[in-house]
Structure formats: C-alpha cells, structure tokens
C-alpha cells in the first residue's frame, strides 16, 4: 500500500476513496483531526453487515478495521473464523505465513499474523495490502451477512 502520511489532505482523501471503493466499502465524510491521525483525511469507511458495522481508517501504509460504535462486540469465535479464512494473495512486510487471511488482516495489529486469543483482546485488524482488505471485507460479509 502507498504511504499516505504527509501528503496533502485532498490527495490522501481521494486515494482512500479509491481503496475503499475497490474493497466495496462505503466512504463516509469525517472531520479533519490532525491530532489523532497518521494520515490527514476527511474520509473513513463503514461496512454494514447484518446487525453489525465495521469502521475503516487509513494509517500510513495500512488500514485499521474495527467494530463500529454501537455495533455488537466481536466474539472470539468470530475473530478466529475470520482469521482462518483462506487467503493466498500478496503479503506485506509485517504479514505472517500461515496460509490464511489472518496473515494479512492482522488481529490487534500483531506482526506476523498471530491468531486471535482470549487474552489478546481486540476489536479489529491491521491490513497491509489492498488484496487483504478486499479479502477481509469478503470474510466479514460471509460471516455476518451483507451484499458483495
């Protein structure tokens, strides 16, 4: 993924909209907040799957994906099922090599794609490649429902 940190806000926002569209995620406007963002943008993403919603926020060379406010918490069995989904696409520098989606959609952001565990609480993932983002969206839709 392209490093979007430090580029003009309009350029970063346009790139984010393109990446979200590629993955089939709705782009939503957000206020510009330079204090809490690696990438200055006025766009985040939201994916609705059944009774759940997930947020997508772009960081310097990866995406953070988590459970949206007001959405049911992610159970460990859901996280494990998504982690274990098949994936054989490209991997980034911090990815694992277990042969599953969890290699590129890294639970709690752990390098190496460590599988979700009860004692590592998290509500989301770091995703290093566009193909991984696309695959995570497909896995979320498969698990929780939603249109492709």
10-57: per-residue pLDDT in tens?
999 999 999 999 999 999 999 987 666 789 999 999 999 999 999 999
Extract the tokens encoding 71.
Answer: 């959405």
In a domain? residue 1 = no
**The domain containing residue 69 runs over which residues?**
9-144
Regarding predicted confidence, which is higher, 111 or 19?
19
pLDDT at 100: 86
Q: How many domains does the chain have?
A: 1
Residues 6+ apart with CB under 8 A from 123: 66, 67, 73, 74
Tens of pLDDT, residue by residue over 67-85, are 999 999 888 899 889 989 9
Residue 2 lies in a domain: no
The answer as to whether 21 is a domain residue is yes
How do residues 49-58 score in pLDDT, each as one tens digit? 999 999 999 9
Residue 126: Cβ-neighbour burial (10 angstroms; 0-12, 13-18, 19+): buried
Q: Is residue 96 part of a domain?
A: yes
pTM: 0.90
In a domain, 88, yes or no: yes
């Amino acid at each position: 993924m392209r490093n979007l940190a430090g580029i003009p806000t309009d350029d970063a926002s346009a790139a984010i909209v393109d990446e979200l569209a590629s993955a089939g995620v709705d782009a939503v406007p957000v206020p510009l907040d330079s204090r809490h963002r690696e990438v200055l943008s006025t766009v985040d993403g939201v994916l609705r799957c059944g009774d759940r919603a997930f947020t997508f926020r772009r960081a310097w060379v990866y995406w953070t994906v988590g459970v949206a406010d007001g959405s049911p918490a992610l159970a460990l069995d859901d996280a494990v099922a998504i982690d274990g989904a098949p994936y054989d696409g490209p991997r980034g520098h911090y990815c694992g090599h277990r042969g599953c989606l969890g290699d590129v959609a890294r639970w709690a952001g752990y390098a190496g794609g460590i599988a979700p565990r009860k004692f590592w609480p998290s509500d989301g993932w770091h995703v290093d490649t566009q193909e991984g983002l696309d695959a995570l969206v497909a896995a979320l839709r498969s698990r929780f429902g939603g249109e492709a």
